[in-house]
Structure 1
Amino acid sequence: MTRKPIAKNADARTAWWEGLPAGIREQVDGYVLQDSLLAAVRVLVDVGFVRDGVGVGTAQLIVGDRYAHYGDRVAREPDSPLDPESLALRADGVVGRVVAIEAIWDGDTVHDWFVVLLAVAEDPDAEHVLATIPWGAAERHLGEGADRGARHPSAVVAERAGEALAARLRVPFHFASPDTPDDEAPRWRA
Structure 2
Amino acid sequence: MGMNKAARTEWWESLPVGIRDEIDGYILQDSLLMAVKVITAIGLVPHGIGVGTAQLIANDRYLHYGDQIAREPESLLDLESLAYRAAGIGGRVVAIEAIWDGDTVHDWFVRLLAITADPAGEIQMATVYWSTAQQYVSEQEDRHQRHPVAVAAERAGRALAEHLSVPFHFASPDTPDDEAPRWHP
The TM-score bracket by the shorter chain reads 0.7 to 0.9
Supply the distance in 2 between the matched residues of 1:123 and 1:45 (Cα, whole angstroms): 44
Secondary structure class of the residue paired with 2:76: coil
**1:65 pairs with 2:86:** no
So what's the TM-score if we normalise by structure 1?
0.77
Supply the distance in 1 between the matched residues of 2:18 and 2:117 (Cα, whole angstroms): 55
Supply the distance in 2 between the matched residues of 1:14 and 1:162 (Cα, whole angstroms): 44
Q: Identity of counterpart residues, as a percentage?
A: 65
Residue pair 2:40, 2:50 contacting (<8 A) in 1 also: yes
CA deviation string 1:16-43 (max 9, x = no partner)? 2122222221111111112221221122
Select which of 44, 48, 56 maps to 2:51. 56
Supply the distance in 2 between the matched residues of 1:22 and 1:164 (Cα, whole angstroms): 51
Select which of 18, 26, 31 maps to 1:31. 26
Select which of 34, 40, 59 maps to 2:35. 40
What runs of 5+ residues in structure 2 fail to find an aligned partner?
A: none
Select which of 166, 173, 179 maps to 1:184. 179
Q: 1:153: how far off?
A: 4.5
Secondary structure class of the residue paired with 1:119: strand
Secondary structure class of the residue paired with 2:153: helix
Residue pair 1:99, 1:120 contacting (<8 A) in 2 also: yes
Cα distance change on mapping 1:115 and 1:141 into 2, 3 Å:
closer
Secondary structure class of the residue paired with 2:74: coil
Select which of 67, 91, 94 maps to 2:86. 91
What runs of 5+ residues in structure 1 fail to find an aligned partner?
A: none
So what's the TM-score if we normalise by structure 2?
0.79
Length, aligned pairs only: 181
Q: Report matched runs for 1:31-180 at 5 Å.
A: 31-95=26-90, 97-107=92-102, 113-121=108-116, 125-133=120-128, 137-143=129-135, 147=139, 151-180=146-175
Residue pair 2:106, 2:130 contacting (<8 A) in 1 also: no
